[in-house]
Structure 1
Amino acid sequence: MRTIARLSAAFQLVDGYSKEGVKRASFLVDGAPVPFVAKPDGTYVFSNLPILSHTYQMTVPGYLPVQRTLPARPEFFPEVVILQHSPEGPLLQRIACFHLRFLVEEEPVQRETVEVMLGNPAGGLRLLEKAPRGAWQVKVAAKGKGLLFQHYRGKKTGEEVLFTGYDEGEGLFQLWKPLEQELDKGELLCPLWHLQTDGDGKAILPAIGAFLPKEDGELHFALGSKKATLQTAAPSPSLSCTIPLKEEQ
């Protein structure tokens, strides 16, 4: 009798700098190794896990480790994970980065995911056409595949989008998941990053020079309801900042 595999989870690991799929990943599911299928494009598939919420820990040589918790029945496959290069790796020694340390009530934010959004209009994308709720594609004032696997957030609506494909003929970008709300023509999509802190609250924001305008940039940080804003110029290789996150007043 044939056994039919039940898809439990899938991850597509993407290099945050080159936007290429990442191979040689290892996983722990709820702290233990389990079998998975690795595909050439950096997709990893898990089957026949108990129908429960699971925590997946991902490690790849040269990258920072990542952790994701998915519900018993994930809504979308695969979950796209943007990997950050390790500070000890060769890439981050060659490009300008923000070296950040996040604090809450003077204590380091340990092993949490902090959102970073660039708020400058010059660094964002404008929608050229209205996009209805449920749409799987949008048309923005940009071309080329350099935007793929980059997160954006609507400055007005807060809608988060991730471009995973580009139709050059139509000038349309495909989305990782359908829009949860309508986006008006002219909506500004701001670049968004998800930074994983280490045990001392430190994280690195690399390779954002292409997004920053010539004038000072405005970076918005968020960890749940705790937020902070930083006015800054383009990063230098040694720029370090301490970011105290506080409840919004």
Structure 2
Amino acid sequence: MNSTWFRRFTTAAGDGPRLVCFPHAGGSATAFKDLAHALPAHFDVVSVQYPGRQDRYREEPFTALAPLVEAVARELARELAADRERPYALFGHSMGSLVAFETARLLARQQLPGPQRLFVSGRGAPDAHGHIPYHLYDDADVLADVRRLGGTDQSMLEDPDVLELVLPALRADYGALGTYSWRPGEPLAAPVTALIGDSDPMVTAQEARTWERHTTGGFGLKVFPGGHFYLFDQLGQVAAALTEGLLTEAAAA
């Protein structure tokens, strides 16, 4: 796959279904490195690398969601055209859920092959969220919110050199979330599985169920122990849930 936009952390692409992973705000493709190794070896697990982080840190990050979605969908469409027979699914965490969802919607509007399943993690449906003016947050506000949500990379907040590298992407992502505007449209044909932590301060089980109205293909909710970044602590359970969803759809194809 395109080495600019997608990363593969397994030694080779398996011949099974493909899972395309979308990181959280401020996150990078490596957020899904351990998940890629926890999933069955015959899966082809790839992660989206947004501009402005890690090996793309010299590139300007997107400050609006729509152009980011357009860019990802364009690159993904090219890859799908080159491998039409392989079934695929999208998995996004937090902000990544929104990017994955809007990417699936854009592919559908362009009448391109859609995912066989959409996995959305750590976030309710876009029309269920009250508007939070993230684009008005200053650096202190952004960092306070990152600390509130927790995660595995909290140490970066205490290192001024690392912080200098990650803050531009964080600012951009929070800006994109703050200026995002929900636009109604046709529900997805693909089934949707929502995944959350039972003590996530950002989303409740009731809010996660709001994704059900955005699909005609069936809906499921899976709740795991943990907070907003539960998936890093419940890696085996999350991998099992994704495997079940992927193989179910692949068998039905």
TM normalised by structure 2 equals 0.28
TM normalised by structure 1 equals 0.28
Q: Would you tell me which structure has more strand in proportion to its own residues?
A: 1
Q: Which has the larger radius of gyration?
A: 1
